[in-house]
Amino acid sequence: DIQMTQSPSSLSASVGDRVTITCRASQNISSFLNWYQQKPGKAPKLLMYAASSLQSGVPSRFSDSGSGTDFTLTISCLQPEDFATYYCQQSYNTPWGFGQGTKVEIK
């Protein structure tokens, strides 16, 4: 199975900060990488798919990059509603595994 590792596990940031979350796959997954946001007590929400496509309705301050084994999610200017946990997910093959999550907290 492909293992997905996110770093950091948590971070503290202020409104307006630029935030970067890293996701590493245990093998080459090309661009088959998706990102989700989850707020406490809520279902996950798709943010980005195929390592470059922004889901409809998601603000353009979210972007991602990478291919192969290393990927990053960037929030260019953190907003109050962005405080949440973020998960990467590989869709290269089944089982479609997720990273362990990165919790973005208010500094």
Partner 1 sequence: EVQLVESGGGLVQPGGSLRLSCAASGFTFSSYEMNWVRQAPGKGLEWLSYISNSGSSIYYADSVKGRFSISRDNAKNSLYLQMNSLRVEDTAVYYCARGRRGAGGYYFDYWGQGTLVTVSS
Size of the site for partner 1 (CB under 8 A): 30
Q: Verify binding: residue 21, partner 1, rule CB under 8 A.
A: no
Asked if residue 44 binds partner 1 (CB under 8 A), the reply is yes
Q: Which of 14, 16, 43, 60 binds partner 1 (CB under 8 A)?
A: 43
* Torsion over CA: 51, 62, 74, 63 (sign): positive
Q: Is 71 in the site for partner 1 (CB under 8 A)?
A: no
Contact 75, 61 (CB under 8 A): yes
When asked if residue 75 is in the footprint of partner 1 (CB under 8 A), the reply is no
Q: Does 40 bind partner 1 (CB under 8 A)?
A: no
Q: CA of 44: how far to CAs of 26, 28, 60, 67, 80, in Å?
A: 23, 25, 19, 23, 18
List residues near partner 1 by CB under 8 A: 1, 31-34, 36, 38, 42-46, 49-53, 55, 87, 89, 91-92, 94-101
